[in-house]
Structure 1
Amino acid sequence: MVDIIVKRIPTEILLQIFHICKDCQDSAQYLFNLSLVCRLWREVVQGCPTLWSDIWLDVSSDMPKLERQVKYQLERAGDTLLSLAIEFPSHSARRWTEQECAARSVQLAEVVRGSMPRWKLFRMRAYLRETRLFFDNCVGHTPHLSHITIALSDIKFEAGVSRLSIPFQRPVGADSGPPIQASFMSCLPIYPSLGASITSLEVDVTSIHPHTSDLIAMLLSCPNLVRYHLRGGFGQTIGIISDPVQVPLPHLLDLRVSGLRDSVYILGALRFEGLRSLSIDVFYFPPVLQDILESIFRSCTLLTAVNINGSMFDRLDAPLLSGFTWQPVVLPSVKQFTFSRANAALLQLFRQLSLPCAQTLEIHRAPCDVAYHLMSSSAQLASASFFELVDAPLHHAPITTLPNPDTIVIVGSLELLSYIDAPNLCALSLTNTKGYHNIASNIRSLIERSTPPLRKLRLIGVHQLTDEDLIWCLRRLPFVEELEIGSSLLSDITLRALAAPSPPKQGADVGVLLPRLRSANFWDNYPTPHGLAALAASRSAVAWTYD
C-alpha cells in the first residue's frame, strides 16, 4: 500500500521534497540512499542535475574515494552551477603526517580546479597552511561565483595576522559576473583580482591580531562594498596608524563593527555618504568617537537605522565635558534608533540629536533627561522602550505628546512616565526594579491624561499599587485584552472586581470589568486559591494563569 502511494507522487513534488531534505553535508550519500528506495526514486535522483550540484568533500576520506565522488557528481550535475564545500578534519582526527596533509591539499586542488568556471558558492574550513597550499594550486576564473566563506581552524591570538590570497579571477567588463558575498574567520583576505566584485564582506578577527593598516589595505581592495561587518574580540585593539589614510566606500549601505576597543581608528578612516544602517558594539567609547559619529550623522542624511552599544564600565552619569559647544544634529531619515551604556562624550552628542522620523526608540542605561530629549524629538514614534534609566532630574520638563506610539516599555525607574501623553497607546509594559515610590500617581496620571485604548497591559514590581489603584486603572481601560500583573499587592479584592457579576435584577445596569479580556496572568501576588477559583469559574472564556 505504501509503495503504491509513493509511486503516485508526481515527479516534480518528489524533486521538491528531495531538494528540501537534502543535507548540505554529505549530500552525495543522502542521494545514494534515496536511489536505493525504488526504481522510480533512482530514476528521479539520477536524472536531476541540480540535486548533484552541491559537492561536500570530507578530506578525512581516502583521496581515491574523494576523486571518484567529485568525478561522479560533476558528471551527474551536467552543466549546472556548483556549490563546493571542503572541510579538513581537526588534528586529533587525522591519520596522516603533515607532509601527507599538504599533499592532500595539492591533490584536491587539482581534482576540482577544472570545475572553477561553474562555481557559484565556495566554502572551506581548514588550517592556514593547507588552505594556502590549496589556493596556490587552484588559480582560475570563477565568473559565476557569488558566495565565498573561509574559516581557519585553531588560530592562536599570538600568531599575528593570517593573510590569505584569494586566487579566484574575474573578467574585466560589464559582464564580470554576479556580486560576491564574502565571509572570513581568523584571516584577512587579499584579492589580486576579485576585490572589485565583493559587495558584502564579513571578517572575524577575534583569533588573530591585525593592525589598522591591515584592515585598511583589505578595504582598499574592495571599493564596491555595500555591506561590511567587522567582528573583534572583547577589548581587542588594532592600533593607531602614523599616516592617516582615507578609504572611500561610496556604495556602503550597512556598517557594523563589534568588539574592538579602539574601533575609532578604522571608523575614522572610512568615507561614505550613502550609509543606511550603522551598528557599533564595542568595549570602549573614547571621546574622539563623538566627533566621528557626529560627522557620520551630519553627512549620511539617508541613515535609517542606528545601533550603538557600549561597555558596562563606562560612567553613565558623568558631567558634560569642558569646551562643549551645542550644535543641533538632525537625523532626518532615521526610523530605528537604539543605544546602550553610552559614556559622557556620547551622551553629549545624543543630547544634540533630533529624530523627527524615528518610529522605534530603544534606550538602555542612560540618564533620564537624554531619554526624554530623544523621545520628545521623535513625533512619529510607534514603539518606545526604556531600560534602567538613571534618575537624572528633568527640572520641570513639559509633558510630551506622542500621537502614534503603539507600544511603550519601561523597565527600571518609571519617572519618565510622568512626562508622556500617549492618546493612541495600545500596549503598555511597566517593570519597576528600583523601588520607585510614585508609581500609583504616575500611572493614574497617564491614564487620566491620555485615556489610551490599551489592548495589552503588563505591570511588574508595582508594589505601591493597591487594589484600589488597580481597580481604578482597570475601570478606565475597557479595551484591554491581555493582562499581566506580577510582584504586586493584588489580592482577592481585585479578583472580585474582575469577576463577572451575578445576574442583575430587573432594570439594573451592571457592567463587567475589562469586558474584552481574553487572557490574564497573575504571579507573585496575594490572592487566595478560593479567590482565583471563583474568578475562573465566573469568567470561563478568559484564559487565566496563576503562579
Structure 2
Amino acid sequence: MAQMSGLSNDIADSIRSPFSKKFLEGGNRLSEHEMRIAAKVVDEGERLLLNLDAAMDKLAQQREAVREQVLQHKNAIRAFRRLPPEIISKILLSALPFRDPDDTADTPWYLGHICQYWREVALGIPNLWTDIVIMGNNYSMQKLETLLARSLNAPLKVVFWFSRGGDARLLQKLVDCAPRWSFASLFVSPAIFVYLTSVRGRIPKLTHLRINVVDYWTGAASADQSNPFEIAPALRDVAFEDLSGLAHPLVLPFGQLTRLKAVASAPAHVANLQRTPNLEVASIDISEEDYAPPGFLGSPIYLPSLRRLYVSSLSFLDQLVLPALEDLYIVDGPPEPLLALCARSGPSLRLQTLRIMWRTPAHIATILAACPTTQTLAVQIMESNDSVALLTGLTVGPRGCIGPNVSAIAFALDGGMLQQRHFLKMVESRWRVPVQGGACVRLRAIELLIPHDAPLSTSTVQRLERLRSEGLEVSILYNQEATEKMLDWRP
C-alpha cells in the first residue's frame, strides 16, 4: 500500500501548477498569462492521462495473465489431477449403469471432454464404449464403427429399435459382432428380423435378450424357418412381447432360462412355462382381455425354483404349482385362484412379499389370512379405491388386525387418494404395539410412493418425522422417483 501511495504522489507531483486549489475553486477571472499557464497544465495532464490509461491496460493484461497462471497451477495441484488411471477408470465406468432404451447412450462422448488426461484414459477403457443404442434413422455408421473400434473385444450391450426404413447396414454391422453380444434389446419388423438369421450359434456371451416384433408378416410364406436365438448357451434372461407377427414361431432355449418376462396369449404362456423348469423370476402378462379360462389348460405346471412372480390375471394361477414362491405381484380379483395355489403348493410355500393392484379390501384380508408368512405388503391404490376400509382393517384394534405378521407396508398412490388421518392412525397403531406379546408384529418400515401432485399435509409429514426419529423406517418418494419404484414392483 505504501508503494502504491508513493506512486500516486509521484504522478500528482509531475503536474506543476502555480495555482492553489482555493484559487481554482474560487471562480476568479484569469489573466491572459494565467490562461496560457492553465492551458499548458491541461495539455500535460491529458498526455499523462493517456500514458496512464495505456499503463493501466497493460497492467490489466498482466494481471489477467498472472491470474490465469495461478488458476492453472491450482488445478494442476488439485487431488483429482493426481489420480492414477485405475481410479479414473472406475469413476468413468461408474457413470455408466446400463440404462433403459430411451437413453441415447451419449455419456462416454461427454466424459471424454473433461480434460485431455481424462480423455486419454477414457479412450483406453474398452468397457466405456460398449453401450450401443440405435433408435430410429439418425444414427451414423461412423459413430457405430468408432464405438466398435474403441470397445475392442469387450462384451457389447446392444439396443436396436426401428421397424421399417432406415439403414439396415447398421443391423448387419451389429450382426457381424454377434459373438460379442452380452445384452440385446431388439425392436424390429419381420422384414428386418431376417438380418438376424446368421447370429444362430454365434452368440456364446449373450445372457439377456429383449425382443419386440412390430407389424405383422404380410409377405408370402418364407422358406427360412431359422431361429437365431435357439442356440445361446449363456442366455438366462428373456423378455418379449407378442411374437405372432413373425412368419414362424420363435424358438428360444427355454430350458436354461432363470428369468422370463413375456406378453402373450394364455396358451402360449402355458406352452412356454412347461419348458422352463429352472425359472426363478417371471412376469406373465396375458395379452387377451378379460382372460378367464374354463379350467386348467392342461395339468398344473410345477416350477420348483420360482421365487418372484407377476401375473396380470389371477385366473392364470390355476396353471401353476410354486412351492418356493416368496414375492407375488397381482392385479386384484377373486382370491380363490391364489388360495388354491397355496393349497396346491404345499407347506413349503412361504410367501413373504405381496404386491397388489387392488379394488376390494376384503380380498386383501382373505389373502393375508391364507398367507400368514407375508411380511411385506405393497398396495397400489387406484382412483376408484376407497382406502379407508383397507386402512381400518390394517389398524390394530381390540380384535387385532389383518396381516398381523406384516412388518413393512408400502402404498403407491397411482391416481388414488390416501386418507391421511386413517393412514397415520394405522401406522402409529402398528408402531406402538409391544415388541413381545402384542396383537401383531411391530411395524418396521412404511413407504409412500406419490407419482403425481398429491402432497401430504404439514402435520402428516411432521408426525412421520417424529416416528422416524423414534426408529421407524420412513420413505416418501415423489414424481419420477416414485414412478420408477412402482415399476420395480414388477419383475
- Counterpart-to-counterpart distance in 2, 1:436 and 1:320: 33
Residue of structure 2 in register with 1:229 after alignment: 209
- Counterpart-to-counterpart distance in 2, 1:366 and 1:264: 33
Give CA-to-partner distance per residue, 1:235-285, whole Å, 9 cap, x none.
6445796665555325253343345563687764224411111112x4xx3
- Counterpart-to-counterpart distance in 2, 1:123 and 1:472: 52
What secondary structure sits across from 2:269 in the alignment? Answer: helix
What pairs with 1:407-426 in structure 2 (closer than 5 Å)?
407-411=376-380
What pairs with 1:26-65 in structure 2 (closer than 5 Å)?
29-32=113-116, 45=117, 52=120, 54-55=122-123
What secondary structure sits across from 2:400 in the alignment? Answer: helix
What pairs with 1:369-388 in structure 2 (closer than 5 Å)?
369-374=336-341, 377=345, 379-388=349-358
Q: 1:464 to 1:325 in 2, by over 3 A?
A: farther
Contact 1:231 1:258 in 2 (8 A): yes
Deviation at 1:54, TM superposition (A): 3.6
Q: 1:435 to 1:150 in 2, by over 3 A?
A: closer
Give CA-to-partner distance per residue, 1:92-150, whole Å, 9 cap, x none.
xxxxxxxxxxxxxxxxxxxxxxxxxxxxx586979689629997xx9x99995124467
Residue of structure 2 in register with 1:339 after alignment: 311
1:447 to 393, 397, 400: 400
* Equivalent AA in structure 1 for residue 165 of structure 2: A
- Counterpart-to-counterpart distance in 2, 1:441 and 1:128: 55
- Counterpart-to-counterpart distance in 2, 1:542 and 1:386: 29
What secondary structure sits across from 1:294 in the alignment? Answer: helix
- Counterpart-to-counterpart distance in 1, 2:79 and 2:140: 46
Q: 1:440 to 1:375 in 2, by over 3 A?
A: farther
* 2:281 aligned with 1:302: no
* Structure 1, 220-229 or 296-305: larger mean CA deviation: 220-229
- Counterpart-to-counterpart distance in 2, 1:251 and 1:12: 44
- Counterpart-to-counterpart distance in 1, 2:131 and 2:253: 30
* Equivalent AA in structure 2 for residue 52 of structure 1: E
* 2:336 aligned with 1:328: no
2:257 to 275, 282, 287: 275
Q: Which has the higher strand share?
A: 1
2:154 to 146, 165, 171: 146
Query: Unpaired runs of 5+ in structure 2?
Result: 1-69, 93-106, 434-438, 450-454, 475-491
Deviation at 1:375, TM superposition (A): 5.5
- Counterpart-to-counterpart distance in 2, 1:306 and 1:17: 38
What secondary structure sits across from 2:194 in the alignment? Answer: helix
* 2:190 aligned with 1:190: no
- Counterpart-to-counterpart distance in 2, 1:218 and 1:389: 49
Q: Name the larger-Rg structure.
A: 2
Residue of structure 1 in register with 2:168 after alignment: 162
* 2:83 aligned with 1:13: yes
* 2:333 aligned with 1:351: no
Query: Unpaired runs of 5+ in structure 1?
Result: 33-44, 56-79, 86-120, 168-188, 414-430, 487-521
What secondary structure sits across from 1:301 in the alignment? Answer: coil
Contact 2:394 2:401 in 1 (8 A): no
Deviation at 1:365, TM superposition (A): 4.9
Contact 2:132 2:158 in 1 (8 A): yes
Aligned residues: 364
Q: 1:149 to 1:469 in 2, by over 3 A?
A: closer
Deviation at 1:411, TM superposition (A): 3.8
Q: Which has the higher helix share?
A: 2
Name the TM-score, length of structure 2 as normaliser.
0.53
Residue of structure 1 in register with 2:328 after alignment: 361
Q: 1:258 to 1:355 in 2, by over 3 A?
A: same
- Counterpart-to-counterpart distance in 2, 1:466 and 1:150: 45
Contact 1:307 1:338 in 2 (8 A): yes
Q: 1:129 to 1:261 in 2, by over 3 A?
A: closer
The higher relative CO (CA closer than 8 Å, separation ≥ 6) is in 2
- Counterpart-to-counterpart distance in 2, 1:131 and 1:152: 13
Name the TM-score, length of structure 1 as normaliser.
0.49
1:315 to 258, 269, 289: 289
* Equivalent AA in structure 1 for residue 385 of structure 2: T
Q: 1:265 to 1:13 in 2, by over 3 A?
A: same
Contact 1:256 1:279 in 2 (8 A): yes
Contact 2:395 2:425 in 1 (8 A): no
Contact 2:378 2:410 in 1 (8 A): no
Deviation at 1:30, TM superposition (A): 3.5
Deviation at 1:304, TM superposition (A): 0.9
* Equivalent AA in structure 2 for residue 145 of structure 1: N
Q: 1:309 to 1:84 in 2, by over 3 A?
A: same
- Counterpart-to-counterpart distance in 2, 1:83 and 1:143: 6
What secondary structure sits across from 1:334 in the alignment? Answer: coil
* Structure 1, 378-387 or 449-458: larger mean CA deviation: 449-458
What secondary structure sits across from 1:25 in the alignment? Answer: helix
- Counterpart-to-counterpart distance in 2, 1:542 and 1:129: 54
* Equivalent AA in structure 2 for residue 360 of structure 1: D
Residue of structure 1 in register with 2:442 after alignment: 479
Q: 1:373 to 1:327 in 2, by over 3 A?
A: same
Q: 1:161 to 1:237 in 2, by over 3 A?
A: farther
Give CA-to-partner distance per residue, 1:295-345, whole Å, 9 cap, x none.
33233222111112356xx533x54248x55512111011111123x4xxx
What pairs with 1:390-469 in structure 2 (closer than 5 Å)?
399-403=369-373, 405-411=374-380, 433-434=385-386, 440=392, 447=400, 451-452=404-405, 454=407, 461=418
- Counterpart-to-counterpart distance in 1, 2:331 and 2:206: 29
Q: 1:328 to 1:440 in 2, by over 3 A?
A: same
- Counterpart-to-counterpart distance in 2, 1:221 and 1:214: 15
Contact 2:324 2:350 in 1 (8 A): yes
